[in-house]
Amino acid sequence: MSAIRYLLILPLMAVIAYMALVGLVYFSQRTLLYPGAGATPVPEHASWGETVHVKTPDGEMLQGLYSQGDSDKPCVLLFFGNGDRVDNYGFLAQALATRRIGLLAISYRGYPGSTGSPSEQGLLTDGIAAFDWLSAHTGSRIVVLGRSLGTGVAVNTAGNRPAAGVILVSPYLSVLSVAQTHYPFLPVEALLKDPFRSDLNIAKVRQPKLFLHGRLDDSIPLSSGQALYRIAPEPKRMVIYDGAGHNDMWNDSMIGDVIRFVEALQGNGP
């Protein structure tokens, strides 16, 4: 009799365990999605650029690093990945500087040096605020560059501001679709607070677009980036790096592709 009761209880225990897992994921999802938030502040004297501060419309103060280029050259506005930091991009700032191209890298709200807590709406607001700040401080045309999570910020920013061009490094169709790929056993659509639906926003991005993706990417599958590329309006181009994954894409070849794209925009109309 006790064995029968045990067998009857097993399904109930499985349901309870599953519901506990769902609850854990729901309440910890922003910690998982924004692992770089709340980390050690950016050093006062970073390895590159001038420290700047950007006020958002909702009262947050964002810290960024800014390397000014020539006014007749485009300037790159960088939105990094979810576990990254602005002071990690000295290599890019230096490469762009050799061509007299400027770079602004902004730290999202809740990330090192910035106030607030991250959320999708917050990061999208940060992107617009960063574009407006850069537009007010430079006579250059602005090329928006997003990496990984930052591609969603870049797509939204370019869809709402007159960027000269857009570079998407390891982009996704949506964070929702990527989460569904990694967690097929969870009701992700019902749980996810920050879906970052680039698929719904990309149609507004009419500027020239460069998509860059590693074929071996196991964080954001190449298929997700390709799906976004297929529905993106022209003009667009995609480069796939056969030997690259998610975190090993930044090499001389890729930086060369970025610089050539930026310089090709020089002198073109908006």
| Alpha-carbon torsion angle 138, 144, 149, 155, nearest 10 | 120
Q: How would you class 72 by CB atoms within 10 Å of its CB: exposed for 0-12, middle for 13-18, buried for 19 or more?
A: exposed
Q: What is the pLDDT along the chain (270 residues), one digit of tens a residue?
A: 466 666 667 787 888 888 898 888 888 899 999 999 986 777 777 889 999 999 999 999 999 999 999 999 999 999 999 999 999 999 999 999 999 999 999 999 999 999 999 999 999 999 999 999 999 999 899 999 999 999 999 999 999 999 999 999 999 999 999 999 999 999 999 999 999 999 999 999 999 999 999 999 999 999 999 999 999 999 999 999 999 999 999 999 999 999 999 999 975 544
| Distance separating alpha carbons of residues 113 and 107, to the nearest angstrom | 7
| Distance separating alpha carbons of residues 57 and 116, to the nearest angstrom | 13
Token couple for 127 = 């992107």
HSE-CB for 22 with a 13 A CA cutoff: 14
DSSP letter assigned to residue 41: P
What is residue 210's three-state secondary structure?
Answer: strand
Q: How would you class 7 by CB atoms within 10 Å of its CB: exposed for 0-12, middle for 13-18, buried for 19 or more?
A: exposed
Which phi and psi (to 5°) does residue 29 adopt?
-60, -35
| Distance separating alpha carbons of residues 230 and 178, to the nearest angstrom | 17
Q: Is the peptide bond before 195 cis (omega within 30 degrees of 0)?
A: no
| Alpha-carbon torsion angle 142, 145, 151, 154, nearest 10 | -10
Pairing of strands 61-67, 50-55: antiparallel
